[in-house]
Amino acid sequence: MHIYRFDSPKLDGLRRHEEDVPRPQRGEVLVRVHAVALNYRDLALLEGGILKPTRAGITPVSDGAGEIVEVGAGVTDLAVGQRVVGLFHPRWFGGPKRAERAIGSYGYDSDGWLAEYKVLSREAVVPLPDNLGYEQAATLPCAGVTAWNSVHGSAPAGPGQTVLTLGSGGVSIFALQYAKAMGARVIATTSSAAKAQRLLELGADEVINYRETPQWGARVKALTAGRGVDKVVEVGGPATIGQSLQAVAFDGEVVLVGFLGESGAPLDYFQLMQCGASLRSTNVGARPMLEACVRAPIEPLIDRVFGFDQARGAFEHLRSGQHLGKVVIRVAE
Ligand SMILES: NC(=O)c1ccc[n+]([C@@H]2O[C@H](COP(=O)([O-])OP(=O)(O)OC[C@H]3O[C@@H](n4cnc5c(N)ncnc54)[C@H](OP(=O)(O)O)[C@@H]3O)[C@@H](O)[C@H]2O)c1
């Protein structure tokens, strides 16, 4: 089979290798991978910063979907031919967030999905409904679940509430779609006029260009009659948190998700205290959230699908920031 590995932990070190197809042991399944999807994390793991850089020899990509082609001894709940998607945290099955959830993290602690075949624990995959294709399903484990957790995780957003999404990356588009599906109003930001139009077409009620309106927090307040939004899906990090605290309602929630801009003004303690909102830090989500995502009434937005031999080009496209929605690699034709 063919499998990609970072021969050195940088993008031009990504190389295709030929290796034996692995065999499933007791409690495991062998999956023929059909599609994988990229996340900002797949680039961040190469660059260091808040995430520790990955190591040479690792297979990247946390998210994938495929078909079971062999089951190991003791697997009675899954069968050959079944279509599945993988969990982002292969050992977080439910319950509170604990440090152990990150054990086996794909692309860092253990090999990820960028291969023609992958062996997984039977508990680390979720069966797919018939209406969800492999490429769509592959977009869900990280970005979909994180957005689901952000929008539904504590007090679910719904009619009469407003959600603020930042930029038009994978997590933000899912957050927009889930919030709209639950009847909430969505205010979105972006840096691009063309993307603003697409966001409106996807259901955003208002769009603000964060380059043209750097004080977008005040604009959000004005759009909500001075109250602020009920939820901010905060993917920008240090670059955006100050404005997010301006934009949130006194009894709202800022969900701390990302770090797209790692530099920014230091957090103002008194602004944090006086905004009145609660802050919740996310780390993707547990298995029940992926089970909810595969049944959610939305269609994952795919920006572009690359071939298996174009894997490096897919990473470069993600790095360019030109995408809107998810970047997918089709592994099996
Ligand atoms: N904590 C968790 O559980 C978790 C899970 C998933 C992801 N994350 C993190 O969440 C972040 C988003 O991930 P992703 O995969 O959705 O990223 P992505 O798809 O690569 O997002 C790229 C988009 O982000 C927008 N952006 C960049 N800088 C921005 C800024 N300063 N303000 C507002 N928008 C900005 C741009 O949108 P425009 O072109 O429209 O301006 C860009 O196209 C990353 O930091 C990722 O590591 C965290």
pLDDT digits (tens, 9 = 90+) for 17-68: 999 999 999 999 999 999 999 999 999 998 877 777 888 999 999 999 999 9
Query: Which phi and psi (to 5°) does residue 134 adopt?
Result: -60, -40
Q: Is 196 in the pocket of ligand 1 (CB under 6 A)?
A: no
236 with 313, same domain: the answer is no
**Atom of ligand 1 at shortest range from CA of 283:** 3
- Closest CA to ligand 1's atom 43: 321
**Atom of ligand 1 at shortest range from CA of 211:** 41
88 with 8, same domain: the answer is yes
171 Cα: distance to centroid of ligand 1 (angstroms): 7
- 170 inside domain: yes
23 with 119, same domain: the answer is yes
Across the range 181-194, mean pLDDT stands at: 97
84 with 31, same domain: the answer is yes
- 293 inside domain: no
Counted residue by residue, the chain has a size of 333
Q: Which helix (H) or strand (E) element contains residue 215?
A: none
- 292 inside domain: no
94 with 7, same domain: the answer is yes
177 with 53, same domain: the answer is no
**Atom of ligand 1 at shortest range from CA of 149:** 3
18 Cα: distance to centroid of ligand 1 (angstroms): 33
Q: How much is the pLDDT for 267?
A: 86
Residues whose CB is less than 8 angstroms from the CB of residue 119 and which lie 6 or more positions away in sequence, other chains included: 22, 23, 24, 25, 28, 29, 30, 31
149 with 134, same domain: the answer is no
68 with 35, same domain: the answer is yes
Q: Which helix (H) or strand (E) element contains residue 332?
A: none
- 174 inside domain: yes
200 with 249, same domain: the answer is yes
Question: Which tens digits make up the pLDDT trace of 250-297?
Answer: 999 999 999 998 788 888 899 999 999 999 999 999 999 999 999 999
The closest alpha carbon to 90, from 31, 16, 169, belongs to: 31
- Closest CA to ligand 1's atom 37: 167
247 with 134, same domain: the answer is no
Q: At what angle do helices 311-320 and 40-47 cross, to 10 degrees?
A: 90
**Mean pLDDT for the chain overall:** 95
- 265 inside domain: yes
The closest alpha carbon to 142, from 44, 71, 241, belongs to: 44
Q: Is 242 in the pocket of ligand 1 (CB under 6 A)?
A: no
* Structure tokens belonging to residue 305: 């699908």
Q: Tell me if 264 sits within 8 A of 237, measured CB to CB.
A: yes
Among 63, 202, 235, the mutation site with the greatest number of ligand 1 atoms within 8 A of its Cβ is 235
Buried b (16+ CB within 10 A) or exposed e, 260-285: beeeeeeeeeeeeeebebebbebebb
189 Cα: distance to centroid of ligand 1 (angstroms): 12
Distances in Å between the Cα of 154 and the Cα atoms of 44, 107, 180 are 27, 29, 17
- 180 inside domain: yes
- CATH code of residue 37: 3.90.180.10
What's the domain range around 85?
2-139+300-330
Largest CA distance in the chain: 62
107 with 170, same domain: the answer is no
Q: How many other C-beta atoms can be found within 10 angstroms of the C-beta atom of residue 310?
A: 14
171 with 227, same domain: the answer is yes
Residue with tokens 């994938």, as numbered in its chain: 64
Buried b (16+ CB within 10 A) or exposed e, 68-77: bebbbeebee
Q: Tell me if 205 sits within 8 A of 185, measured CB to CB.
A: yes
Number of domains present in the structure of the chain: 2
- CATH code of residue 182: 3.40.50.720
